[in-house]
Each structure stands twice: as C-alpha cells, then as structure tokens.
Chains A and B, each alone.
Chain A
Amino acid sequence: MPTETIILWILYAIMFLMSPIGAIIVQIKKDKEEKQKKEEKK
C-alpha cells in the first residue's frame, strides 16, 4: 500500500479514537480521585 495511504489510515483512526482514549484517561483519573477520597476517609 502507498505510504501516503498508510498515513491517511492512521490519521483516520486517530480522529475516531480520540473519544475512547479521552474517556479512558478521564475515567482512570476519576477512579484514582475516588480511591484517594476513600482512603482519606478511612
């Protein structure tokens, strides 16, 4: 496959994968915060 096409595929995938990656990062952050709060309460 031409190199330009491979770059296009990568860009296309990144465009759509922004939201799954974003959601996972935010969720990990929230889980950490919650865990920290629970520990503080203990």
Chain B
Amino acid sequence: MTTETLAKTPLHALHLELGARMVPFAGYDMPVQYPLGVMKEHLHTRDAAGLFDVSHMGQILLRGSDAAAALETLVPVDILDLPVGLQRYALFTDENGGILDDLMVANLGNDTLYLVVNAACKDQDLAHLRQHIGARCEIEALFEARALLALQGPKAVEVLKRLAPEVGAMTFMQVGVIRLLGVDCFVSRSGYTGEDGFEISVPAEHAETLARSLLAEPEVEAIGLGARDSLRLEAGLCLYGHDMSTSTTPIEASLLWAMSKPRRADGVRAGGFPGAARIFAQQQEGVASKRVGLLPQERVPVREGADIVDADGAVIGRVSSGGFGPTLAAPVAMGYLQSSHVALDSEVWAMVRGKRVAMKVAKTPFVPQRYYRG
C-alpha cells in the first residue's frame, strides 16, 4: 500500500514535524514511534505523561430519547441506567455471540450517547448501528469532524488542569464537555495504558493547537502506536482483531466483567442482545478455551500466532498478543488456552522458531492499573 491511499489524521503534519516514523494502520498513515523510541516512550508514559493521536478511531453520536434502549439491543451492557457524565466499556456482539468490536459508550446528557469504536471497524460499526437502530435514534458519525487525543500517565491530570482545573475532580470513567483553549471538547478520564489519564475529543480544526499546547508542557512527550501497544498489553487490555474477534465470545475472551449484571442471564433485563442464548449457555456450561495472561519464563518475546503446547507437545492454544513489556523488563503475552490449562501458574510452552519456551498462566494486568477513582 502506498501512502497516497492512506487517510491522514488532523495531526499528520505535526507527526512528520516531530520526526515520527509513520506506518499504515487501519487505513491511516500513523506514527508508530517518535525519535525517543518505543522503549523510552513507554517508560515516559508510565513515569510522566504521553500524548497519543488516536484520531483514527471512530467517534459516533447517538441522539434521541430511545437511543439508550436501542443501543442495548446491540451490546450486553447496561446503557439505560448509565448515568449522565459516565462512560462504560461495551462490546458489539453478533448472532453467534462473537465480538464485532469493543467500544466506549458515554452518556453526555440531553439524550446523547457518545461512542468511540476501533478504527478498523468503524465503517462496519456505523453500518451495523444504522441497520439495526437507525430508525430509533439519530446517528451522527464524527469521523472527519473530530480528532481524538489521549493524554496518559501519572502527570496527565497536572498537565490538563492547567487548561481546565475542573478535570482534577473527575474520576475514572467520568466524562464531560470541558472547554480547552476556548473549544468545547468531550473529555473522559480513561485510556488504554492502565495509567490515569484522559481521552479528549476535539473538533478537527482545533486539534493541532491543542496538541501543540499539551506537548509544550514539560511533562509531556508524543507517544506512538508502538508504545500504545506495549502499554495496553502490560495493562492486560485486549486489542480487537487479536485478543478478541467474531470467533470469540465475551466468555471465551474472559470479558464477562464487561457484561452488566442487569443484562446477564439472571439480570432484570436479561438478554436482548445478539448471541445472548449462546453466551448464556457458555456461562452455564463453560467454554472449551479462554483468554489468559501468559508470562514467558525466558527473555525471548513470544509473539502473536505462536502455538502453545502442553508437556506432551500437544497444541492446546495460541498466543493472541505478545511482545516485550518495558516496565516489567520482560516479555508478556496473552492467548487462548484449552480450559483444562487455564489455572493460574499452570506451566505451558510456546513454540518460538521451533523451540519450546516455558510460560506461566498469569493474572492480568501485568503491571498494576493506576486509574484515579477519587
């Protein structure tokens, strides 16, 4: 693919100016790293604050008094009782209980829901919404209209408070319309690194000014997609298309926690989302394989796609994400394993270039999440 066919975010020119190495990602020309390099970018985010351009992700507004009830028909998540000013993690499921995408759903008030979906899925998600609930609410894609910045790390709040002191009072997963440099932004206290931080939806034409202003703060470095991946992996967060897909259900993906209690089999609004019957059956009867954290016991990184074998060499699973965790200073991975092997500390082996590498089934997150809960 040549760069001419790739889309650009509103910060594309800034990335080039900062000396980013650009790569194609989900149809966009995106910064994988800046001159600092993946390792230092990762560590800087955990120590101070990192600014990420995630404008390739899809932002969608749903409006109308029926929007919450309508969205509930597509996700196993409580949207009706989602308070104004809060967001929840959600999953679009298909008729087989497979995961079409994962997303954030925020209640902005005034019967308005704000969704953030994955870049690679956004056109399909938009079509899915229009097809199934287009008659029940107004659906507005903000794909070109708004950029999305993530400011992540323990110093993120100090930095953002300089532009808007009120963000200091927000807690994890709270969201609101906040004025930054005179522009109304949707700001949530959340992210994809395991650290405290914010995601900031800003009108595209104001994105570069805001990004430059944040980068001018001494605590902030620009961080690319390379470190974004190693940060989320250490934090035990799934990457769509790798750690979950249409061929895995929320139960298999170990995402039962993301299914709200009222929507579960014994809940007050049980079911009513695609694939509910299969997902509930799996919850009762168990699953053949599920996603677990994996810690390689050697220094060699174990990558996505590596077969996992038992002591006899029989294939019992596959690595879905893997790499090196700079904060742990050790390789980390996650993958799908036959349920007979998923107990914590079970010893399994990954096949890396024909050699067995011992791994232990481990708890995630691999590094403690440091969300601000007040």
Task: Indicate, yes or no, whether A interacts with B.
Answer: no
Could you list which residues of chain A lie within 8 angstroms of chain B, going by C-beta atoms? none
